[in-house]
Amino acid sequence: VTYGIEKKDERVKYLWDDLDNSNSITLNAYLPLWDGGQRKKNIQAEQLSLAQDELRIREEKQDIEKGIINAYRDLQEYSQRLVNLTQSVELSNKLTTGTIAKYENQEIALENLLQIITRSRDTQAKFLDVYIDYRRSMLDLMEDTYYDFDNDVSLLDKFE
């Protein structure tokens, strides 16, 4: 773009003499008629880049879905194990109480009592381990879904 002064008279001999101020703009544009296929290659490269981005997004969504599904399955598994171990702990406590009564009546030896108490303690330790795993899987699911299932509220709403 240029801006300047020019001669209003079209005759060539007066072109350099007696100039008049005029406001004019000259616009020159260059349009390539042939670019050697560069534009087409650039478009193809951008299309490939866009396709890769879409593929990454799709894979990320699938990974998130798989993570949520796995966390939910783990939660179900630990929940079922907790139910089973709760029953085992109750039976173990009843057996221990009965065994202590038998020992007090001198119906069994001290070694048998200690074995029952050790098994009961092991059952309770397994219960605690499974409970900790259950809580961890609950936290994993909470992290993946941004939802607090204990309080039945979205974590985004909870921390606003």
Q: Is the pTM of this model over 0.75?
A: no
| 68, 120, 142 from 152: Cα distances, Å | 17, 35, 11
| 54, 78, 80 from 83: Cα distances, Å | 44, 9, 5
Per-residue pLDDT, 21: 56
- Asked if residue 142 has pLDDT above 50, the reply is yes
Q: Which two tokens stand for residue 74?
A: 């783990």
**What tens digit of pLDDT does each residue of 95-119 get?**
999 999 999 999 989 999 999 999 9
**What tens digit of pLDDT does each residue of 10-49 get?**
554 455 555 555 556 666 777 767 777 788 899 999 999 9
